[in-house]
């Protein structure tokens, strides 16, 4: 018998001063049985950093042809593809051919080695940006995970602060590779 996803609900209030996005989003996150709280909360962070009206969570771990998050236009064209973790460089390059823009938020103990191995392949696409999230910060972010969450995220000068009212986590993604095409 297959294990089913665990459902998490989040009310996420975003004040993104860098992009001028101010909104409250009612989110439902399905956490795959093999997904950690850290990965789920990194997906939530990626949502907060790129929030818009049509940004949605993909199937991610349960479907290799879908990202952690994506944004499509009304015709179904993929405008934005977001992956988290340490994805396979071939899958990322394939995503670059399918989407207008691709973002990767890399995190975890193996990030440095992953980047050394994937760098040559991932610096080629013009529509790809790769960011590294500090391990201590993503682990602290996992500590905010609850089945029902009320979170606030403030983004200014590329740094995000996420709070549940009692605890605050500061995350400053480091740019490993910037997209050369907007």
Query: pLDDT tens across 79-108, in order?
Result: 999 999 999 999 999 999 999 999 999 999
Q: What is the pLDDT of residue 1?
A: 46
Q: Which of 16-20, 32-36, 84-88, 119-123 has the lowest mean pLDDT?
A: 32-36
CB atoms closer than 10 angstroms to residue 73: 10
Q: What is the mean pLDDT of the chain?
A: 93
| Cα–Cα distance measured from residue 91 to residue 87, given in angstroms and rounded to the nearest whole number | 7
Percent of the chain with pLDDT over 90: 86
CA-CA distance, 37 to 122, in Å (whole number)?
27
SS3 175: strand
Q: Which residues contact 64 (CB under 8 A, 6 or more apart)?
A: 91
Q: Which residue has the higher pLDDT, 20 or 4?
A: 20
Q: How confident is the model at residue 59 (pLDDT cuts 50, 70, 90)?
A: confident
Q: What is the largest CA-CA distance in the chain?
A: 47
CA separation for the pair 135, 114 (Å, rounded): 14
125-143 mean pLDDT: 97
Answer for the pair 143, 154: CB distance below 8 angstroms, yes or no: no
What tens digit of pLDDT does each residue of 63-73 get? 677 899 999 99
Please answer whether residues 25 and 12 qualify as being in contact, where contact means their C-beta atoms are separated by less than 8 angstroms. Answer: yes
pLDDT for position 128? 97
Q: What percent of the chain has pLDDT over 70?
A: 96
What integer pLDDT is reported at residue 60 of this predicted model?
A: 62
User: Where do the domains of the chain lie, and which CATH numbers do they carry?
Assistant: 6-177 (3.10.640.10)
Q: Closest by alpha carbon to 8, among 37, 46, 34?
A: 37
Confidence of residue 61 (pLDDT cuts 50, 70, 90): low
Least confident of 52-61, 123-132, 158-167: 52-61
């Amino acid at each position: 018998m297959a294990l089913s996803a665990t459902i998490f609900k989040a009310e996420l209030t975003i004040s993104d001063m860098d992009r001028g996005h101010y909104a409250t989003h009612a989110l439902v996150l399905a956490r795959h049985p093999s997904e950690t709280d850290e990965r789920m909360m990194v997906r939530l962070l990626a949502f907060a950093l790129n929030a818009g009206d049509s940004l949605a969570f993909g199937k991610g771990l349960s479907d290799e042809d879908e990202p952690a998050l994506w944004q499509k236009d009304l015709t179904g064209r993929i405008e934005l593809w977001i992956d988290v973790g340490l994805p396979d460089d071939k899958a990322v390059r394939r995503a670059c051919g399918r989407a207008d823009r691709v973002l990767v938020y890399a995190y975890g103990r193996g990030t440095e080695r992953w980047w050394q191995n994937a760098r040559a392949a991932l610096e080629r696409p013009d529509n790809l940006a790769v960011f590294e999230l500090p391990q201590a910060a993503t682990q602290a972010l996992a500590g905010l995970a609850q089945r029902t969450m009320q979170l606030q995220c403030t983004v200014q000068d590329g740094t995000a602060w996420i709070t549940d009212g009692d605890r605050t986590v500061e995350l400053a993604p480091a740019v490993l590779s910037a997209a050369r095409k907007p």
